[in-house]
Amino acid sequence: MFMRIDHIGIACRDLEEKIELFSRTFELTVVAREVNEEQGVKEAMLHIADGEGGGSYIQLLEPLSDDSPVGKFLARRGEGVHHVAFGVADVAEAMSTISEKGVRLLDERPRHGSMGSEIAFLHPKDVGGMLTELVQAPKP
Ligand code: CMX
Ligand code: CO
């Protein structure tokens, strides 16, 4: 079902500072910057590699408010890995296949993600404590 890891999401207090750190340390390039009001984040995607089905990235996330998912995470756990996102061919199909296994979906339907993708989240408590995102890349 999973083609690849699409991205790792990192919770940051200061997006600009972490863009500088990640691009300098790993020699990565920012390929997109977006504000996603629905997800409550200001974000940047740093490109790692291209593969079959799409690229892989580091997603740096700064919360738009303290009561957003990333804002709450920062208050509870501090900066660091927030979620892992798997690339799938069809997000709606992956959602139904996975929910049939008893894993709770956090989204009833796919939502808009980075760079024109369609995304959905799985409950971290049902995935060994890992907040999991499913990503369907836009058709080329
Ligand atoms: N990873 C692992 N566990 C997490 C977590 C995370 N990122 N965020 C919360 N949890 C855990 C908490 O530690 C808590 O566990 P305990 O009860 O054992 O302490 C439990 O989940 C519930 O936490 P909560 O604070 O009551 O719940 P929240 O209101 O913070 O909601 C979650 C948690 C996962 C449902 C919410 O963050 C969510 O809906 N996330 C999906 C959307 C999202 O994260 N968007 C931002 C990224 C956007 C993008 O990638 O494009
Ligand atoms: Co993400």
Residue 116 φ/ψ region, left for φ over 0, alpha for ψ in the -120 to 50 degree band, beta for the rest: left
Domain boundaries, the chain: 2-136
Cβ contact 94:88 at 8 Å: yes
Q: Which of 7, 62, 82, 136 is catalytic?
A: 7
Question: What is the rounded radius of gyration, in angstroms, for the C-alpha atoms of the chain?
Answer: 14
The topology (CATH level 3) of 2-136 is 2,3-Dihydroxybiphenyl 1,2-Dioxygenase; domain 1 (3.10.180)
* CA 45 to centroid of ligand 1, rounded, Å: 21
Q: Which ligand is nearest to the CA of 105?
A: 1
**Residue-wise pLDDT tens digits, 58-107:** 999 999 999 999 999 999 999 999 999 999 999 999 999 999 999 999 99
- Predicted ipTM of the assembly: 0.97
- pTM to 2 decimals? 0.97
Confidence band (pLDDT; 50, 70, 90) for 53?
Answer: confident
